[in-house]
Amino acid sequence: MKIKYQLWGIFSSLFIVVCLTTYMFILNTYEQRLQAGYEQMSIAQGYTILDQLSATYPDSPNRSIGYLERYGENLNGRLVMLDHEKKVFADSFQQLKPNTTLHLDILDQDFELGSLFTEAESFDYVQYTLIPFQAIEGEGYLLIVQEADQLKAELESYKTWMIQTLLIVVLAFFLIAYFVSFWFSKPIEQIIVQLKKITPHKRTFSFKYPRRDEIKELIDTIQNMVEELNLYDERQQRFLSTSSHELKTPLAAIQLILENLPYVRENEEKHGEFVQDLWYQVKKMKQMVDQLLQINRIGNTHLQKETLNVQDIQNYLLQSFQHIVQDKQIVLEFELEPVNLFVDRTLFLGALDNLVSNAIRYSPQGQLIKIIIKDDKKQNKISICDQGIGISPEHLPHIFEPFYRSNDATAWNREGSGLGLTIVKQMVNMHKGQIDIETEQNKGTCVHVFLPKM
Ligand SMILES: Nc1ncnc2c1ncn2[C@@H]1O[C@H](COP(=O)(O)OP(=O)(O)OP(=O)(O)O)[C@@H](O)[C@H]1O
Ligand SMILES: [Mg+2]
Q: Give the pLDDT score at 134.
A: 85
pLDDT at 123 over 70: no
Share of the chain above pLDDT 70, in %: 99
Nearest residue (CA) to ligand 1, atom 7: 358
Which of 433, 428, 451 has its CA nearest to residue 380?
451
Q: What is the dihedral of CA 278, 281, 286, 288, to 10 degrees?
A: 180
DSSP reduced 3-state for 299? helix
Query: If you average pLDDT over every residue of the chain, what do you get?
Result: 91
Q: What is the CATH code for 3-155?
A: 3.30.450.20
- Ligand 1 pocket residues where CB is under 6 Å: 291, 354, 358-359, 362, 386, 388-391, 395, 399, 404-406, 409, 416-422, 445
Q: Which ligand is nearest to the CA of 402?
A: 1
Domain 301-452, CATH: 3.30.565.10
Name, in order, each residue with C-beta under 8 angstroms of 177's C-beta and a sequence gap of 6 or more: 7, 8, 11, 12, 15
This prediction's pTM: 0.60
**How sure is the predictor about 431, in pLDDT bands with cuts at 50, 70 and 90?**
very high
pLDDT at position 60 over 90: no
pLDDT (tens digit per residue) in 12-54: 999 999 999 999 999 999 999 999 999 999 999 999 888 888 7
Q: How confident is the model at residue 122 (pLDDT cuts 50, 70, 90)?
A: low
What are the domain boundaries of the chain?
3-155, 198-297, 301-452
pLDDT in tens, 318-369: 999 998 999 999 999 999 999 999 999 999 999 999 999 999 999 999 999 9
Residue 28's CB: how many other CB atoms inside 10 A? Answer: 10
Selected residue with higher pLDDT from 64 and 283: 283
Whether 338 and 374 have beta carbons less than 8 Å apart is answered as: no
Identify the pLDDT of residue 51: 84
Residue 147 near residue 167 (C-beta atoms within 8 A): no
Return the ligand 1 atom nearest residue 389 CA: 4
What residue's CA is closest to ligand 1, atom 1? 359
Q: Using CA atoms, how far apart are residues 424 and 24, in angstroms rounded to an integer?
A: 75
Class of domain 198-297: mainly alpha
